[in-house]
Amino acid sequence: MMEHLLKKLKANNINGYFVKNSEEAKELALGLIPRNSVVGMGNSLTLRETNIFKYLTAGDYQIINQFEPGIKPEENLRRRRESLLSDVYFTGANAISRNGEIINIDGKGNRVAAMMFGPQKVVIVAGKNKIVDDEEEAWERLKMHAALALAKKLGRNTPCAKTGTCTDCASAERICRCYTVIKGQMPADKDRIHVIIVNENLGI
């Protein structure tokens, strides 16, 4: 199954890797950063669970850290925008289909925007639990599990956080506003997106 997925990613002009554990994922991910690169990050529980976030923010990297404690909302937004022009952008994925599609739900949209265009290189780290059969299963997983679990974790006042069921609500605190599918890249961009799949259950 994994060999098939990696072949599909390659056919979609996306670089795919399969590693045994979080430590291997961290070593591979950090090794993809060229020297003197400016690094941006999207919000990702997987990056934290693999300690990649920790090493990026504590290491000798030029980090655009939108998660720095104490910064004002205006500065947070400025850094999110700046990350769209970073050399390397790190994030997770909500789902990856067996056909090599990368499927995401996002709130503000900066994370998925960076995946699609802007940063010179994108490094996506995902646990094996993010693999789904197809796009239909991805949306089912994201809407009925991942998005509502995250809303509850963040303490959002949304119907799904209270009931555990997506109602496609109009809540002001809704976190699933941008739906994207990356089916592949142009041939000229074949070295841009790197997907590291970890043989562990990571994230939500």
Q: In what order do the strands lie in the sheet with 15-19?
A: 15-19, 193-198, 121-127, 88-92, 38-41, 62-64
Whether the predicted model's global pTM rises above the 0.85 cut: yes
The pLDDT score that the predictor gives to residue 131 is: 97
Query: In terms of Cα–Cα distance, which of 30, 36, 20 is closest to 194?
Result: 30
Write phi, then psi, for 70 (nearest 5 degrees).
Answer: 90, -10
Q: What is the pLDDT of residues 68-88, one digit of tens each?
A: 999 999 999 999 999 999 999
> Percent of the chain scored above 90 by pLDDT?
90
The pLDDT score that the predictor gives to residue 60 is: 83
Superfamily of domain 2-132+178-198: NagB/RpiA/CoA transferase-like (3.40.50.10420)
